[in-house]
Amino acid sequence: MKGRYLFPVMAATGALLVVASLSSGTVMVNPLSIPGILLSPGDFPHDALLLSLRLPRIGMSLLVGASLAASGAVFQAVLKNPLADPYLIGVSGGGALGATAAIVLSLAYPLVVACAFIGSLAVVSAVYLMSRRLRFGTTSLLLSGIALSFVFSSAVLLIFAFAGPDKVHKAVMWLMGDLSIARYEILPQMAVLCAVLCAAACFFATHLDVISFGDSFAANLGVRPSSLQALFWTASMLAAVSVSLCGVIGFVGLVVPHFMRRVAGPGHRTLLPASCLCGALFLMSADTIGRSIVPPFEIPVGVITGFIGGVFFLVYMLAKGEYRI
Amino acid sequence: MSSPLYGLAGVRAGYDGVTVLKGLDVVIESGAFVSIIGPNGSGKSTLLKVLAGDLRVTAGTVSFRGAPLASMGRSGLASERAVVHQFLEHTPPFTVREFVRLGRFPHRRFRDEGAASREAFAWTVERTGIAPFLDRRIDELSGGELQMVRIAHALAQNSDVILLDEPVSHLDMSHTIRIMDLLYDLHRRGSTVIAVMHDVNVASDYSSLVLGIREGAAVFYDAPEKVLRYDRLESLFDARCVTIDNPITGRPFNYPVPGHVK
């Protein structure tokens, strides 16, 4: 499904999924009444539910899904590893420590976001500085990221060991990745930030093509280390923003770009926008399932992405018969 | 007199404190076909990296068209020469067409491919004869086809100065001849070809100059007729060999003698 059919098909599917997501949840709304509610709010019984709860939540899931998928696509090219994901360099570890500390100290939600963001950026900066000493190679990035992840997750567990059970539960919900805790007032600002970062990644699409062949290949074609660093920061910021907004949502950043590479081909000019679109729709659908499947309870979206995504990908791999990385 | 393409004087270079090139002086004129030969670990690939601008020298000077090579930026250098490394580290499943087009990366314009790039692409495809498999994936090509495609990629990047690290050492006879003929033809049309060669006899048949390196220093640098003789080769490789003249090319042809390693 390469080329001209891909985006129309994805856009049409996306529109249907958005409508389905708006109408489902603990209260089901007739999909046919949705255009009316959106156009003239106030005349329908469920308009507050739709406009102030579901719509911003869908917006947030689209935003975070697109950011995670774009971040994963960039990391997979920069690290020359199709199994790389946005959390591999430790963004989630730093975010988790920041958020856990804030939650255990009973800080308000905006401060949890701020602490998570500071934690993520601290890890990214540390990985950046460490690997720059080691000439910014793939292995040095990965190893410093993995080492720091361990340090930070130990710190999180240490906090758990001393915190009260209710706070630990709140923090664990955050660690699972939960869109219900997201703060929707900052949605427009975050949308602009993520759009700028995704556009920056797309601007470097040809660089990413070249980089994915290896370091000496890229050096021969004149790719500067500064471009690699710009890409590293772009992808890290996308991951950091996502983690701080709604916790550690796994799977999207790893498998969406990996899967789209098979559907849309390896060229980043197509792969990046396709991954953004697919990641956005995937996260929204997963969240819709999470808040509709066992009413009145909600399952955190991170649980759904991991479960559905993992099963889907296993089935896809088995159905394909062959699997090469 | 115009300055040579490359001028190396007292070049020392290496990795992490290990010096591989130990004071190399070489001048390469524009339009030459230079083969670099020598035992494994003698510094052939290191020299190629220095010429490519990928490795900074620790002592000595390298000039490129009269200016210090180090003063040229990475992207500036990328449109002045093309490098075909020994292996492709990764082969993401791009098509041959996309891969060869990536050779135009240093010449890219914002969005528009540009007439020069379209022309260079068409010329490259015609020269290398890769038209039949333009739409195949590079990770599904045979070794010989991939090597030709990689040379096409290099030609799309720059066809004036081409640096190659063992371009034919793992190829069958027909692909070897095809690729060497193409490089020779480019050299006759004025391109400078500099290749690390594994096979002394292939180097002999095609090069205008052969540079013999041993332990990071030049042992000889002259026309193949003069230096690819058993006496010079025996001291370069520590093996015994017999030299005859290749009846087809008239160039020296060397047989190693089994059971005789110094």
ipTM of the complex, rounded to two decimals: 0.88
Q: Which residue from A209, A216, A222 is facing B89, i.e. has the nearest CB?
A: A216
C-alpha A262: how far from its chain's center? 20
Residue with more model confidence, A145 or A65: A65
pLDDT surpasses 60 at B112: no
Q: For residues B114 and A305, what is the distance between their CA atoms, to the nearest angstrom? A: 44
Q: Which residue from A206, A217, A266 is facing B85, i.e. has the nearest CB?
A: A217
Interface check A83 vs B, CB under 8 A: no
Residue A51: the pLDDT is 76
pLDDT in tens, A149-205: 889 889 999 999 988 888 898 888 888 888 876 667 788 888 999 999 999 999 999
Contact A219 B94 (CB under 8 A): no
How many residues are given for chain B?
Answer: 262
pLDDT surpasses 90 at A33: no
Interface check A222 vs B, CB under 8 A: yes
Output the average pLDDT for chain A. Answer: 86
Residue B154: the pLDDT is 94
How many residues are given for chain A?
Answer: 325
**Backbone φ and ψ of B10, nearest 5°:** 55, 40
Residue A325: the pLDDT is 45
What dihedral angle (degrees, nearest 10) is formed by the CA atoms of A8, A13, A19, A23? Answer: 180
Helical (H) or strand (E) element with B241: strand B239-245
Please state whether the peptide bond connecting residue A188 to the residue before it is cis, i.e. omega within 30 degrees of 0.
no
Interface check B82 vs A, CB under 8 A: yes
Half-sphere exposure of B34 (CA within 13 A, CB side): 25
Contact A214 B103 (CB under 8 A): no
Interface check A214 vs B, CB under 8 A: yes
What is the rounded radius of gyration, in angstroms, for the C-alpha atoms of chain A?
A: 20
Query: Residue B89: closest CA among chain A residues belongs to which residue?
Result: A214
Q: For residues B135 and B37, what is the distance between their CA atoms, to the nearest angstrom? A: 36
Interface check B94 vs A, CB under 8 A: yes
CB A76 within 8 A of CB A236: no
Chain B nearest-CA distance from A216, in A, is 8
Show Cβ contacts of residue B169 under 8 Å, excluding neighbours closer than 6 positions. Answer: B197, B198, B199
Residues of chain B in contact with residue A266, where contact means CB-CB under 8 angstroms, are 92-94
Residues of chain B in contact with residue A80, where contact means CB-CB under 8 angstroms, are 89-90
Structure tokens belonging to residue B254: 């060397």
Half-sphere exposure of A115 (CA within 13 A, CB side): 19
Interface with chain B: mutation pick from A2, A221, A224, highest number of B CBs within 10 Å: A221
At residue A126, the 3 state secondary structure works out as helix
Contact B78 A220 (CB under 8 A): yes
Contacts 24+ apart (CB under 8 A), A150-159: A150/A93, A151/A93, A152/A90, A152/A93, A152/A94, A152/A96, A152/A97, A152/A119, A152/A123, A153/A93, A153/A96, A155/A97, A156/A93, A156/A96, A156/A97, A156/A100, A159/A97, A159/A100, A159/A101, A159/A104
**Identity (one letter) of the amino acid at A85?**
D
Best mean pLDDT range from A43-57, A96-110, A122-136, A266-280: A266-280
Greatest alpha-carbon pair distance for chain A in Å reads 64
CB B32 within 8 A of CB B188: no
Best mean pLDDT range from A114-128, B105-119, B208-222: B208-222
Contact A221 B54 (CB under 8 A): no
pLDDT in tens, B225-236: 999 999 999 999
CB A136 within 8 A of CB A208: no
pLDDT in tens, B126-156: 999 999 999 999 999 999 999 999 999 999 9
DSSP assignment, residue B7? Answer: E
Contact B94 A266 (CB under 8 A): yes
Q: For residues B17 and B39, what is the distance between their CA atoms, to the nearest angstrom? A: 21
pLDDT in tens, B55-79: 999 999 999 999 999 888 888 899 8
pLDDT above 90: percentage of residues in chain B: 76
- Residue A199's region, left for phi above 0, alpha for psi from -120 to 50, else beta, is alpha
